Amino acid sequence: MARYNHPEWHPLFAGYASGPTPLTTGSYGQLLYVTEFDGAPKIISEYFPEILEPAPPMLWSHAQGAEINGIGNPNEVRALTAPTFGEHLDDWNEIKISSS
């Protein structure tokens, strides 16, 4: 999870998700953006990784919901479980460094 102070959606949270199967564990599968509406967190956007592009930085394609632009650096990053796949772990480490 990463927290951003986005100019439009502040605060904005990014959740990087992977799957539970051996082929997806450790790799990014989705990027979900969440913000608060009426006192509760709501998913406002979904992105999928461009798996053929090298990372870092990981390139994401908009799938549905709000298009998030001008995100800047995160204010806080917390790993529930870090990715284990090489390039995805490198990308995650870059995200953590940019929040320092």
**For the chain, which ranges sit under pLDDT 70?**
none
Total domains in the fold of the chain: 1
At residue 23, the pLDDT reads 72
Q: Identify the domain containing residue 26 by its residue range.
A: 2-98
Query: How big is the chain by its Cα radius of gyration, in Å?
Result: 13
DSSP-assigned letter for residue 75: S
pLDDT at 6: 92
User: What pLDDT was estimated at residue 83?
Assistant: 83
Residue 76, pLDDT score = 93
pTM value is: 0.86
Predicted confidence at residue 43, as pLDDT, reads 97
Residue 97: which residues within 8 A CB-CB, separation 6 or more?
none
pLDDT (0 to 100) of residue 18: 83
d(CA 39, CA 6) in angstroms, rounded, equals: 18
